[in-house]
A and B are shown apart, each in its own frame.
Chain A
Amino acid sequence: MPSDRSPEIGSTVSIQKHIFNALLEKLKTQGYEVVGPHVENETLVYAPIQKLEDLPRGYVTEQEAGSFRLVYTGHTRYFDVIPGAQSWKQFLFPSHANLFNLKKVNGAWEMETPKPTAPAYAFIGVRGCELAAIQIQDNAFLRSDFTDPIYRVAREKAFILAVNCMHPAGTCFCASMGTGPRVEGDADLTLTELEDVFLLNVGSELGRNILAGLPYESASAFVLNAANRGLERATLQMGRSMDTSDLPDLILNNLDHPHWRAIGERCLSCANCTQVCPTCFCWDATDTLSLDGNQTRRERVWDSCFNPGYSYQAGGNTRPTIHSRYRQWMSHKLGTWKVQYGTFGCTGCGRCITWCPAAIDITVEVADLRKEIR
């Protein structure tokens, strides 16, 4: 039987890597649906995982503007893979959600509102940038005056095991945005992977309970040092950087700059950047009416400011041109978001750069705009 021993909140312990399976097992017995990075059909997704071996050990990602390659190098680390197109957003803010159904009975509409439900997710391997993204979406969905019930139900049950990022990818710039590579936000557990052991920093009572009874040691000064050195190295290895010192003013004072048109020449307005972005929160509601007109299903779906219909209203489209849509997106991420929520809408995760088929790079565009203004 496991002992009652459990580490203090704020402390860091070290476990043998194979013990992680016991940790996953414990999460599962406590009712969590454990999800993490996983290689499926030769690509990287976030999917249910059962055991340590389901994680993408031995893989790295090569990420450049407009290009992503998952490469097997055979290394022995489980948490080295920098995330792909998917983000935890898909679990907390699902791309499709049924809002309510209506049925006409004796001339009156009867409403059936499904109570929002979600599994208790345990997110395994949340990067600093991704944890920051979740907190940014919290600001949008869990406001003091309005709380999104669908998001809240999933969010308040979620267990977060964050990971310090030791080998950032080519499109990463979390160091510029202050969200990584070291995990800064509130996680239940924060993991650092060294060659032989996992270090786990305990961030909450929940995290503490999961570790209770597992064979761990308190982390030695030697391993803590190794972790710190790794993170310092990672900071220097960022593939991209962004100067934020003059943001948001640089953007907001230059909304009429011709550079937006130049970006519009390349932008496909395909919406990929917004769909892979872990902070983008726009949604639309659609009705599906039965043929007899007596039943309708109201659904919420992900939307995008790049959707030509996004700003359509009777009488016209506010942003009919592609460059005006791109400007809306970037001026929101790096400009008006700060006014709305006090943070940037960008965490430096680099997804919009990697997954843009046209290889448009937000860090380059900001730098170019700055250069052109000087």
Chain B
Amino acid sequence: MTHHKPTLAVYKFSSCDGCQLSILNMEDELLDIAGALDIAYFLEATRAERPGPYDIAIVEGSITTPHEAERIKEIRRQSKVLIALGTCATAGGIQSLRNFTDAKAYAQTVYDHPEFLHYLDTATPIAEHVPVDMELWGCPVNKGQVLEVISALLNNRRPNLPAYSVCLECKRRGTICVLVDKGIPCIGPATQAGCGAICPANGRGCYGCFGPTRSTNLDSLTNILTKLERTPGETVRLFRGISGYAPTFRETADMLLKEAK
């Protein structure tokens, strides 16, 4: 890049802040980031707010309100490179569960004055609103992957993000397959690696928070999982979770629900 340090802006949309926190949690590497980038806008980290345009914008969260839908367009205009950070930003996140139901009905039930609420009927990924240059999945994201993507941008190379399934990562760390060993439903075989296979290593099945792999066989996996269900509908719930609005997971859950009818 140029002689000056590239400027960085970090934005939050509808989300829990967890992905931003995983940037702040880096501790050792945070100084390197501050050394390599000029942090111009990052409310979670600093009060400094310098106006754009920015070289790199990192966006956390999904688009759930009319205001957000406008704001993301402005951010896109202000940013050379836009990175969607975390599964809210890449697939809508857990709040995209509203997309499968009637958000109005919930608003009526929960709030005394739902007419004061300004929300969209859906929670959608950033890429449904503006072009995104790079997507980093995870709930939360993996800090190694955040560093890798920033390093790749700074050094003008393709980031080294795995295209394979969680299973490969899981076996590399010596974890015994929970699906085969314990009969625990796990969608690791259809989920992109990058998390470090944390859930199986702690004795639970993967619930797909890093999103679907590009090359996967969801028909076969659903056949396996529906036979392992410990409670009815467990497979649907696995696919319709944090990455539930990601197209292939969404279609899989829809298909299962249709079959169940």
Contacts and interface: CB of A to CB of B under 8 A. Distances in A.
Interface in B172-189: 172-174, 176-177, 179-183, 186, 188-189
Contact of A85 (B150, B152, B163, B177): B177
B145 to A, nearest CB: 11
A276 interface: yes
Contacts of A357: 177, 179-180, 186, 189, 221, 224
Given A270-B188, A358-B221, 20 more contacts: A43-B181, A44-B176, A66-B224, A68-B181, A69-B181, A85-B181, A86-B176, A266-B220, A268-B190, A272-B167, A272-B189, A288-B160, A289-B152, A291-B150, A301-B172, A302-B168, A322-B215, A322-B217, A355-B177, A359-B224
A268 B189 contact: yes
A66 B181 contact: no
A308 B215 CA distance: 7
Contacts of B151: 289-291, 293
A68 B171 CA distance: 16
Interface string A41-73: 101110000000000000000000011111000
A302 B171 contact: yes
Contacts of B190: 268
A320 B216 CA distance: 11
A95 B33 CA distance: 29
A52 B32 CA distance: 50
A269 B213 CA distance: 11
A218 interface: no
A116 interface: no
B198 interface: no
Instruction: State the majority secondary structure of interface residues on B.
Output: helix
A265 interface: yes
Contacts of B220: 265-268, 358
A96 B196 CA distance: 13
Contact of A271 (B165, B181, B203): B165
Contacts of A85: 171, 176-177, 180-181
Interface string B206-227: 0000000111110111001000
A275 B181 contact: no
Contacts of A287: 160
Contacts of B119: none
B170 to A, nearest CB: 8
A84 interface: yes
A270 B148 CA distance: 24
Contact of B171 (A44, A272, A358): A272
Interface string B112-151: 0000000000000000000000000000000000011011
Contacts of B216: 268-269
Nearest to A309: B163
A268 B174 contact: no
Nearest to A307: B164
Interface residues of A, number: 50
Nearest to A354: B180
B167 A275 contact: yes
Given A45-B176, A268-B217, A308 B163 contact: yes
Contacts of A320: 215
A212 B190 CA distance: 54
A112 B186 CA distance: 41
Contact of A67 (B32, B180, B219): B180
A308 B189 CA distance: 12
B35 interface: yes
Given A301-B172, A302-B172, A307 B36 contact: no
Interface in A344-364: 354-359
Contacts of B164: 271, 304, 306-309
Contacts of A95: 171-174
Contact of B224 (A68, A84, A90, A358): A358
Q: Which of B29, B151, B167 has the most CB of A within 10 A?
A: B167
A307 B32 contact: no
Contacts of B163: 307-309
Contact of B35 (A44, A291, A307): A291
